[in-house]
């Protein structure tokens, strides 16, 4: 029975019946249908959807392909008139009371409260520098992020909306902040003090206020921790460098005289991955770039420093860490990397057993699957991500629809073998990747939407990069991938950031949030619905995948997401059947024999007004659409 752990009852039969009437074209008007469904939905209010790698970070060479570059060029050739016309037409339909099937079914859903200790969430990645500026200097800050918590979570106000704008929130329940520690660079992956806040972003008091308000809304907060290296401006390195410069020729350094020399990897001979220490005969390891000297992670004193750093933030109430570049701790030495992660995981869990750890292992899936042996909660699922990942290839049509479902089943077995308690960390793009709008030439938003859904319907703790829900674009240099959040089309408006100084000047393909919020068919409202579905059916994030072979092939795929048989009673969530049409044409799937032939159409994700149609045991899906069924009671 769904919701045992969440403390609510199953959805009522009347609500299910109404959903079936909607998908079959009941004579009720759309507004009457919504009103009845809201009465069935336990009397709860629904969201007011219509109210309103850093320089030197390792990245594959194939990150920016010629195909993506061509797509970026074609985007500039597309006309804005069609988009504007579509937006005005949709706004008129809302005023007339004509809601889409996706809106109607979404309104009937009841997103469930997530227990405090549940790490399986929907996480929003934020680059604070480019998110929201609270003091007018053009740089995002912690107070700016705090002002937008209701946009990210959507659960902090009576209406579930951002009170500053009236725009309904996304429904995310965790935030990953890219580094906020003092640093000489804009991206802040080269740290000078791990126990402070960069003055560009605010003060420790600002951080404490942000953390408190996150927790008041049921939002967890995890910090980005780069412990492979520090900045050359970190006091540890500065003291070590000063000592070595004064050391007489031929004399070996004494760790007793300067313990910080042991914190890094110094030698007198040049080597690949080493840079010469200025005004000395010494060289230091720096695999990313000369401003990021690698730490000596074999040194017990270094590990103790790292443990103290973790304890400092965990004792403040931080909910965990995203670990940067975990495959680079020991260059080309996976076993040593796994050993270090095992040590760090143990150290963290001794301090805070519920802390969540996710690692960036930018490698092929067979390699990063091995890192689960460390006991780490999660590793980012790179196989599905980016312009060359499985999601983009399936959406382009270069891989069949079946490849998506088959890959889910395969990785569940692969990861589970390494660690039965693993939590997958699916994502579609991040701050080191070209933004996804450039992946599909001449896309009207349909493929961008579908790709987002394929990520958000994966099991585990799904990650969403800020602005992805708007179809923001940006490729080429890293700064372009970290452009200002598009709250409005006016770059001088309150809260707007100027972005990294080296960012190129370019225009966005899709409208800013203030316009998309008013358009029921926008990318933003599609993402909101996908997250709402994810939050309403915990089996999507907590369950395992069982393929329905009879409806899985080149254009369509179907699968059941269900809890394992040995799941504890508090995790006995209601299974769901997910049917996808990943093609450009209508497709019909026969659910006979699946156990869902008499099921209830609980939710849909559609890229246009065309509805999903249910006729007896068959379901007809319009292009690029997804249907979610629950079993008949």
Buried b (16+ CB within 10 A) or exposed e, 230-262: bbbbbebbeebbebbeebeeeeeeeeeebbbbb
Q: Which of 162, 324, 411, 555 is catalytic?
A: 324
Could you tell me the CA-to-CA distances from 151 to 141, 267, 388, 466, 511 in Å, in that order? Answer: 16, 50, 30, 11, 17
**Contacts for 353 with CB less than 8 Å, ≥ 6 apart:** none
324 is known as an active-site residue: yes
- For 29-38, 123-132, 147-156, which range has the lowest pLDDT when averaged over its residues? 29-38
**Strand order across the 618-621 sheet:** 587-590, 618-621, 613-615
360 is known as an active-site residue: yes
pLDDT in tens, 253-277: 999 999 999 999 999 999 999 999 9
At 369, phi and psi to the nearest 5? -60, -35
Classify residue 133 by burial, with Cβ atoms within 10 Å: 0-12, 13-18, 19+: buried
Q: Which of 83, 125, 133, 360 is catalytic?
A: 360
pLDDT in tens, 305-326: 999 999 999 999 999 999 999 9
For residues 587 and 555, the answer to whether their CB atoms sit within 8 Å is yes
Q: Which domains does the chain have, with CATH numbers?
A: 13-44+537-630 (2.60.40.1180), 235-285 (no CATH)
For residues 516 and 522, the answer to whether their CB atoms sit within 8 Å is yes
- Measured CA to CA, the distance from residue 66 to residue 498 in angstroms comes to 28
pLDDT in tens, 447-493: 999 999 999 999 999 999 999 999 999 999 999 999 999 999 999 99
- Measured CA to CA, the distance from residue 222 to residue 358 in angstroms comes to 9
- Facing residues of 358 across strands? 322, 378
pTM of the model: 0.86
Predicted confidence (pLDDT) at residue 632 exceeds the cutoff of 90: no
pLDDT value, residue 358: 98
Q: Record the tokens describing residue 486, joined without a space.
A: 């598009």
Confidence of residue 140 (pLDDT cuts 50, 70, 90): very high
pLDDT value, residue 572: 80
Percent of the chain with pLDDT over 90: 79
Q: Record the tokens describing residue 161, joined without a space.
A: 């909306």
- Measured CA to CA, the distance from residue 452 to residue 471 in angstroms comes to 10
Classify residue 554 by burial, with Cβ atoms within 10 Å: 0-12, 13-18, 19+: middle
- For 155-159, 399-403, 422-426, 578-582, which range has the lowest pLDDT when averaged over its residues? 155-159
For residues 503 and 524, the answer to whether their CB atoms sit within 8 Å is no
């Amino acid at each position: 029975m769904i919701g045992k752990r969440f403390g609510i009852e199953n959805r009522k039969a009347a609500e299910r019946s109404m959903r079936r009437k909607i998908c079959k074209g009941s004579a009720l008007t759309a507004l009457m249908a919504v009103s009845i469904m809201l009465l069935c939905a336990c009397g709860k209010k629904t969201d007011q959807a219509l109210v309103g790698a850093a320089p030197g970070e390792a990245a594959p060479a194939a990150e920016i392909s010629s195909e993506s570059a061509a797509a970026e060029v074609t985007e500039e050739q597309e006309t804005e008139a069609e988009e504007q016309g579509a937006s005005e037409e949709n706004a008129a339909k809302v005023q007339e009371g004509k809601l889409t099937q996706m809106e109607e079914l979404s309104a009937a859903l009841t997103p469930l409260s997530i227990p405090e200790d549940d790490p399986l969430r929907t996480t929003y990645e934020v680059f604070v520098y480019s998110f929201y500026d609270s003091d007018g200097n053009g740089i995002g800050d912690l107070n700016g992020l705090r002002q937008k918590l209701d946009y990210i979570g959507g659960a902090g106000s009576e209406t579930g909306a951002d009170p500053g704008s009236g725009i309904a929130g996304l429904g995310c329940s965790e935030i990953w902040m890219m580094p906020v520690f003092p640093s000489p660079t804009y991206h802040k992956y080269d740290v000078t003090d791990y126990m402070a806040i960069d003055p560009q972003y605010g003060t420790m008091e600002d951080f404490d206020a942000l953390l408190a308000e996150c927790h008041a809304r049921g939002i967890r907060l995890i910090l980005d921790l780069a412990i492979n290296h520090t900045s050359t401006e970190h006091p540890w390195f500065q003291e070590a460098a000063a000592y070595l410069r004064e050391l007489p020729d031929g004399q070996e350094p004494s760790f007793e005289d300067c313990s910080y020399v042991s914190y890094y990897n110094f030698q007198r001979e040049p080597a690949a991955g080493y840079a010469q220490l200025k005004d000395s005969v010494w060289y230091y390891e720096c695999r990313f770039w000369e401003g990021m000297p690698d730490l000596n992670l074999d040194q017990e004193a270094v590990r103790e420093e790292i443990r103290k750093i973790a304890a400092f933030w965990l004792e403040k109430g931080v909910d965990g860490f995203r670990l940067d570049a975990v495959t680079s701790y020991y260059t080309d030495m996976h076993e040593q990397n796994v050993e270090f992660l095992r040590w760090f995981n143990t150290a963290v869990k001794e301090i805070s057993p519920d802390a969540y750890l996710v690692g960036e292992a930018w490698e092929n899936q067979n390699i990063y699957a091995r890192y689960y042996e460390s006991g780490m909660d999660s590793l980012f699922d790179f196989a599905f991500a980016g312009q060359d990942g499985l999601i983009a290839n399936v959406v382009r049509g270069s891989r069949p629809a079946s490849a998506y479902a088959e890959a889910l089943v395969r990785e569940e077995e692969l990861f589970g073998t390494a660690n039965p308690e693993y939590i997958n960390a699916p994502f579609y793009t991040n701050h080191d990747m070209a933004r996804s709008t450039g992946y599909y030439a001449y896309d009207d938003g349909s493929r961008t939407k579908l790709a987002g859904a394929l990520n958000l319907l994966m099991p585990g703790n799904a990650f969403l990069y800020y602005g992805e829900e708007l179809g923001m674009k940006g490729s080429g240099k890293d700064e372009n991938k970290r452009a200002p959040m598009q709250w409005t089309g006016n770059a001088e408006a309150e809260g707007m950031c100027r972005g990294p100084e080296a960012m190129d000047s370019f225009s966005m393909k899709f409208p800013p949030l203030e316009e998309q919020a008013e358009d029921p068919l926008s990318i933003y409202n599609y993402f909101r619905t996908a997250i709402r579905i994810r939050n309403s059916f915990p089996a999507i994030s907590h369950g395992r995948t069982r393929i329905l072979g009879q409806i899985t092939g080149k254009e369509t795929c179907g699968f059941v997401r269900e809890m394992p048989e040995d799941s504890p009673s508090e995790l006995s969530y209601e299974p769901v059947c997910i049917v996808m049409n990943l093609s450009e044409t209508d497709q019909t799937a026969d659910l006979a024999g699946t156990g869902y032939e008499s099921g209830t159409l609980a939710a849909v994700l559609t890229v246009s007004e065309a509805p999903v149609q249910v006729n007896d045991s068959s379901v007809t899906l319009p292009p690029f659409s997804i249907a979610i069924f629950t079993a008949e009671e």
